[in-house]
């Protein structure tokens, strides 16, 4: 009886071992999240799952990292204008803790000489959140590798599609056009052509409540925000390469939508952020008072702008027009207050209720 039980147990373990070996081998060969090698224009790419592998293994010397404000940067334009080989990681609603996780990974990879980081105050206003990035894809230890080989996302969400795309390629069959941008590393999460732009669209969405300024409690907000900024700046490893920070050009409707109290706190927090950055010798660009920010035709909602503006920013990184210094920082902050007040007067009917 014992021998039968032992044989049965041994047989089950052998089957499990064979299955685990097969599953692990397939994941290693396909490598859907680029943990061992990078294959461009081959697989379905989800930035949250692919970002770790790309940062570790992609061939780049400049890293563009930020929220949805960075997702429409054109990598061909960036290469031509900046003379770099960029990797673009844009994650909607990116939190500063998540950005620091990815930066630490990039620092360890040692590939980038330059970092372009979007400076967004919302990152520092909320309560601490659990990272949404799959931690096992940011690490290279044995347990993380095992999780990668056997995880649900790879096997049921991506490998079947990736194998399908590979099969179509082998058979010489054109894949559906919908996959073209979704398999390109240069186009990760690019949404430029997925939405309508224009004042009518922006105002309609605003009045419907579809898009608005996230509600933030103002009690001790400045203290909480600046404390997180201290942590952020203390975590930057400035010896790893040049860091360039930039305030994305939200529409003026965004700032007008903030209560006066919240706007004042945000402006004070922004001043603190700028002072900390300049103190550390970091380049900071402020695009939030650009002329076009009052023209809602450039936007799809309160904050998100067209790819043309991303191209414009790429050019501006070579200019001093929007570069902040200790001498002009207050002028930029004052200009934002003036533009907000002018916009409030011009669009008073939007806020009459």
The string of DSSP letters for 137-153 reads: GT--SHHHHHHHHH-HI
Specify the pLDDT at position 2: 58
Determine the pLDDT at residue 177: 81
H-helix or E-strand spanning residue 231: helix 221-235
pLDDT (0 to 100) of residue 353: 63
The answer on pLDDT for 93 being more than 70 is: yes
Give φ, ψ of 224 to 5 degrees: -65, -45
Considering only 13-22, 97-106, 144-153, which range has the smallest mean pLDDT? 13-22
pLDDT category of residue 8 using cuts at 50, 70 and 90: low
CA angle 268, 272, 273 (to 5 degrees): 115
Q: Residue 350 — very low, low, confident or very high, per pLDDT cuts 50/70/90?
A: confident
Six-digit token pair at 184?
A: 């390109």
Give the whole-angstrom CA distance, residue 189 versus residue 318: 25
Q: Once rounded to an integer, what is the mean pLDDT over residues 169-196?
A: 89
Element (H, E) at 223: helix 221-235
What confidence score (pLDDT) does residue 175 get?
84
Per-residue model confidence (pLDDT) at position 218: 86
pTM of the model: 0.93
| Residue in the block written with tokens 């630490």 | 104
Specify the pLDDT at position 212. Answer: 67
Asked whether the predicted pLDDT for residue 231 surpasses 90, the reply is: yes
What average pLDDT does the structure give for the chain? 93
Please compute the mean of the pLDDT values over residues 200-211 and round it to a whole number.
Answer: 86
- Give the pLDDT band (50/70/90) at residue 1: low
Evaluate if residue 129 carries a pLDDT over 90.
no
Spatial strand order of the sheet with 86-90 comes to 86-90, 62-66, 114-118, 242-247, 283-286
Percent of the chain whose predicted confidence (pLDDT) is above 90: 80
What share of the chain has pLDDT > 70, as a percent?
Answer: 96
Question: What pLDDT, on a 0 to 100 scale, did the predictor assign at position 126?
Answer: 82
Averaged pLDDT, 245-255 = 97
How big is the chain by its Cα radius of gyration, in Å?
24
């Amino acid at each position: 009886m014992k021998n039968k039980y032992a044989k049965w147990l041994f047989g089950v373990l052998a089957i499990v071992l064979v299955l685990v070996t097969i599953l692990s081998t397939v994941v290693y060969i396909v490598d859907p999240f680029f943990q061992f090698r990078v294959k461009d224009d081959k697989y379905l790419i989800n930035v949250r799952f692919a970002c770790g592998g790309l940062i570790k293994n992609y061939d780049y010397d400049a890293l563009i990292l930020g929220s949805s404000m960075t997702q429409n940067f054109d990598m061909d334009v960036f290469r031509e204008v900046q003379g770099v080989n960029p990797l673009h990681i844009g994650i909607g609603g990116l939190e500063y803790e998540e950005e620091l996780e990815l930066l630490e990974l990039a620092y360890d990879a040692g590939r980038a000489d330059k970092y372009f980081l979007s400076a967004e105050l919302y990152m520092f206003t909320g309560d601490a959140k659990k990272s949404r990035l799959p931690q096992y894809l940011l690490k290279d230890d044995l347990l993380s590798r095992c999780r990668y080989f056997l995880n649900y996302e790879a096997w049921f969400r991506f490998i079947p599609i990736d194998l399908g795309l590979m099969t179509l390629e082998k058979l010489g069959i054109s894949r559906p056009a919908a996959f073209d941008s979704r398999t390109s590393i240069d186009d990760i999460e690019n949404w430029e052509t997925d939405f309508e732009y224009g004042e009518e669209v922006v105002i309609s969405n605003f009045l419907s409540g579809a898009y608005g300024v996230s509600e933030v409690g103002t009690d001790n907000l400045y203290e909480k925000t600046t404390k997180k900024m201290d942590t952020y700046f203390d975590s930057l490893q400035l010896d790893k390469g040049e860091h360039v920070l930039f305030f994305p050009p939200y529409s003026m409707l965004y700032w007008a939508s903030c209560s006066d109290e919240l706007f004042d706190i945000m402006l004070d927090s922004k001043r603190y952020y700028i002072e900390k950055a300049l103190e550390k010798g970091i380049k900071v660009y402020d695009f939030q008072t650009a002329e076009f920010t009052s023209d809602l035709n450039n936007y799809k909602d309160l904050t998100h702008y067209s790819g043309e503006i991303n191209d414009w920013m790429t050019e501006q990184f070579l200019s001093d027009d929007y570069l902040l210094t200790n001498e002009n920082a207050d002028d930029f902050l004052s200009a934002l207050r003036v533009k907000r007040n002018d916009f409030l007067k011009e669009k008073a009917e939007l806020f009459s209720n």
